Amino acid sequence: MIKIQRISILLILAVMSMASNCNGPDEVAPFDKGSLLVNFSDNLISPSLSMLQLTMEQMEADFVEFQLNSTEANLNTLRNSWKDAYMTWQTLKPFDFGPIKDYGFKAATGTYPSDTVKIEANILAGSYTLASAGNIDAVGLHSLDFLLHRVDALSHFTGNANYMTYAGDVIAKLKSETTTVANAWSIYAPTFKESTGTETTSGFSQLVNEFNRDYELVKVAKLGIPIGNQSLGIQMPEYLEARNSGISLELLRQNVFALQQYYKGNSTSVGQSGVGFDDYLIHLERSMLDGTISDNFTAILAKVDSFSGTMEEEMNSNAQGLDELYNLMQGQVVSLKTDMTSAFGVLITYQDNDGD
The SS3 assignment for 273 reads strand
How big is the CA angle at 131 (ends 127 and 135), to the nearest 5 degrees? 70
Domain boundaries, the chain: 31-344
Query: Is the sign of the CA dihedral 139, 141, 143, 148 positive or negative?
Result: positive
Report residue 267's pLDDT band, with 50, 70 and 90 as the boundaries: confident
Please write the tens of the pLDDT for every residue from 199-240: 999 999 999 999 999 999 999 999 999 999 989 999 999 999
pLDDT over threshold 70, residue 100: yes
pLDDT over threshold 70, residue 121: yes
| Amino acid (1-letter code) at residue 276 | G
Model pLDDT, residue 271: 63
How big is the CA angle at 352 (ends 241 and 137), to the nearest 5 degrees? 35
Report residue 4's pLDDT band, with 50, 70 and 90 as the boundaries: very low
Overall CATH class of domain 31-344: mainly alpha
**Mean pLDDT in residue range 139-160:** 98
* Cβ 270 vs Cβ 276: under 8 Å: no
* Cβ 144 vs Cβ 170: under 8 Å: yes
For the CA atoms of 82, 95, 306, 295, what is the dihedral angle to 10 degrees? 160
Other CB atoms within 10 A of residue 342 CB: 13
* Cβ 103 vs Cβ 264: under 8 Å: no
Other CB atoms within 10 A of residue 142 CB: 24
pLDDT over threshold 50, residue 18: no
User: Crossing angle, helix 140-149 and helix 72-89, to 10 degrees?
Assistant: 160
Question: What one-character DSSP code corresponds to residue 133?
Answer: G
The SS3 assignment for 266 reads strand
Q: In the chain, what percentage of residues exceed pLDDT 90?
A: 88
Model pLDDT, residue 351: 79
Please write the tens of the pLDDT for every residue from 43-95: 999 999 999 999 999 999 999 999 999 999 999 999 999 999 999 999 999 99
Mean pLDDT of the chain: 92
Model pLDDT, residue 352: 64
Distance CA 204, CA 37 (A): 7
Element (H, E) at 65: helix 46-68
Q: Quick one: which of 220, 264, 212 has its CA closest to 239? A: 220
| Amino acid (1-letter code) at residue 181 | V
* Cβ 196 vs Cβ 203: under 8 Å: yes
